[in-house]
Amino acid sequence: MKADTLTLAQEQKRAPWTDVELETRDFIVYKDAFPVTEGHTLIVPREATQENILKCFNYAVTMGYDNVESKNNNITGYNVGLNVGESAGQTCMYPHVHLIFRRNGDMEDPRGGVRHVIPAKGNYKSTEEANER
């Protein structure tokens, strides 16, 4: 049986994840080794194809939505993200989707959400307010 691209990436030390939560035919779900919030999860395609990365996104959105709806572990929101390239902050050079569960009060002012990848640009409201002064 031919090894999938994830297995090859793990052998090459480009995919260091080991804490498996769920395995499917198309992807593996891992606990993030350096979680941003409780439950921070990585969804990693077995084959690094656009189709499988989209399946990872679909799973992340579904799991995020389901957890918000069920109020599981006080989850009130979620972020889904993919870092591609060193300039975007990618450190593990194999595609993987982050599902970051959010809870009310987990940061002082969460406005801007994923825009915080560039900290000074995250909260555009505070920038607008500063410009008005």
User: ∠ at Cα 13 (26, 92), nearest 5°?
Assistant: 70
- pLDDT tens digits for 37-95? 999 999 999 999 999 999 999 999 999 999 999 988 899 999 999 999 999 999 999 99
Under 8 Å between Cβ of 82 and 98: yes
Look at the chain and report how many structural domains it folds into: 1
Residue 46 in any domain: the answer is yes
Strand spans (E) along 1-133: 20-23, 27-31, 41-45, 77-82, 97-102
Which CATH number goes with the domain that contains 10? 3.30.428.10
What is the reported pTM? Answer: 0.86
- pLDDT tens digits for 93-130? 999 999 999 999 998 888 888 888 877 777 766 655 55
- Tally the C-alpha atoms within 13 A of residue 93's C-alpha that lie toward its C-beta: 8
Which residues constitute the domain of residue 76? 5-102
